[in-house]
Amino acid sequence: MAKLSLFERRRRRVRTALRKRSGQKPRLSVHRTGKHIYAQIIDDKDGRTVAAANTLGEKASGANVDAAAKVGKDIAAAAKKAGVKTVVFDRGGFLFHGRVKALADAAREGGLEF
């Protein structure tokens, strides 16, 4: 078996912990790149994406905290429209600070509970 990167080990550890305490709630999954940030609410029971938001359509770069906060508000609005109120936050292998934290805080302000 190949040695896993630190990022992959952290991602697996976070995902495993989420499965244990999720209680079958959908998960808010976050992915971040150098230029953009993506968020989607995934229903693992049905294996489908319920709502999604990202910075791809924006003229400004998604590589800042303000853009991440906007994605957080957008995902909260999309979740409300889809009838989702509570989720578990899946940060993947990313540390909970900066853009990831800004997205989470904005989603909470938008009405999502986690």
Q: Indicate the burial class of 26 (C-beta count within 10 angstroms; 0-12, 13-18, 19 or more).
A: buried
Strand-pair category, 88-90 with 48-54: unpaired
Architecture of domain 6-109 in CATH? 2-Layer Sandwich (3.30)
Average pLDDT over residues 43-61: 88
pLDDT, residue 23, reads: 81
Strands (E), the chain: 27-32, 37-43, 48-54, 88-90
Give yes or no for residue 2 having a pLDDT over 80: yes
Give the confidence band of 109 by pLDDT, cuts at 50, 70, 90: very high
> For residues 42 and 78, is the Cβ–Cβ distance under 8 A?
no
Integer CA distances (angstroms), 29 to 37, 59, 106, in order:
11, 23, 14
Domain ranges of the chain: 6-109
pLDDT, residue 1, reads: 67
Integer CA distances (angstroms), 10 to 4, 67, 68, 78, 95, in order:
10, 25, 22, 28, 9
Give the confidence band of 98 by pLDDT, cuts at 50, 70, 90: very high
Structure token digits, residue 12: 């697996």
Strand-pair category, 37-43 with 88-90: unpaired
pLDDT, residue 66, reads: 94
